[in-house]
Amino acid sequence: MQPNTMSANLQLNEEGKLKHFLSIEGFSREMLTEILDTAASFAGMSEQQVKKVPLLRGKTITNLFFENSTRTRTTFELAATRLSADVLNINIATSATSKGESLLDTIRNLEAMHVDMFVVRHAISGAAHFIAENCAQHISVINAGDGRHAHPTQAMLDMFTIRQHKHDFDNLKVAIIGDILHSRVARSQIQALNILGAKEVRVIAPKTLLPAQVERLGVKAYHNMEQGLDDIDVIIMLRLQKERMNSALLPSESEYFKCFGLSAHKVKLAKPDAIVMHPGPINRGVEIESSVADGPQSVILQQVSNGIAVRMAIMSMAMQSSGVNQ
């Protein structure tokens, strides 16, 4: 189930509006900016007494998570609830899928229950794309992470957080540090930063944790934190994806932290007003020092909060093609 090159055609309806959200690849700067602007309109809702709008009233959103998740699943559920949708969480461990039912049969059965949107997380790259190609015409599909391929809503909430602090992308230098090889988040972040016009995107990692020909993704590769963090505006740390490593790629976690972990001393190598980000979950003392994760330059918890507004934006925009909001 390998993903094809994600064209915008499948993700947009005939009027050019968002239909599915499967990958950052193929979208224009204007579309990504529209998502960020729409998210901004939802960002203040958490401060309101009534944290709901009726945009998706009467619609049913199904969370299909074939992998474990805390932040992503919870924020998708909160986002759908705040849009007044009904939410159906499928427990894969106790569903018919665990008894041998195929993915397509699972989708067909849920379609018979008249759902309107699938939010999909799956260990196999291309799973969300496969569902979008094979589900009923009126259903939208949102990719909540597929294999090593993409995690586009995480990338967009990261872009939203960067814009909150840096206002635009044109002069930004961003460093993504850690396990680039196994990270679907990094791939989506790199695509989004390049589409939005970031001045420079760097990746910093040992050679064993970088994809071959990584420069073709539109980045500069560094293997040294002191050089890679120089003059950087945004530092994005990544989790070591141990569950996706087929062999020992590192000598030890302590050695990894010594060379590529983010300490307060290393933060000073970047610009004084640099922000520190991490998509979570954090491995303290492996990728990042606690004093940095909880420090004044960290925006990690803001990323979590912004995930609700960004996912509300993507869900509401995707449902526009079904006639909602018109």
Cα 261 to Cα 259: distance, rounded to the nearest angstrom: 6
99 given a catalytic annotation: yes
151 given a catalytic annotation: yes
265 given a catalytic annotation: no
Q: Which of 5, 70, 94, 99 is catalytic?
A: 99
Please state at what angle helix 300-319 crosses helix 71-82, rounded to 10 degrees: 50
**Cβ atoms of 134 and 107 closer than 8 Å:** yes
Cα 161 to Cα 159: distance, rounded to the nearest angstrom: 5
Cα 107 to Cα 142: distance, rounded to the nearest angstrom: 14
Q: H-type helices in 135-170, by residue range?
A: 152-166
* Joined tokens for residue 149: 């391929």
Q: Which of 151, 173, 187, 202 is catalytic?
A: 151
3-state secondary structure of 97: helix
* Joined tokens for residue 122: 């799956």
Instruction: Classify residue 288 by its DSSP letter.
Output: B
Cα 258 to Cα 256: distance, rounded to the nearest angstrom: 5
Helix (H) or strand (E) holding 201: strand 200-204
121 given a catalytic annotation: yes
Q: Which of 17, 38, 60, 71 is catalytic?
A: 71
Cα 212 to Cα 218: distance, rounded to the nearest angstrom: 13
Q: Which of 121, 122, 149, 184 is catalytic?
A: 121
- Indicate which residues carry an active-site annotation: 71-72, 99, 121, 151
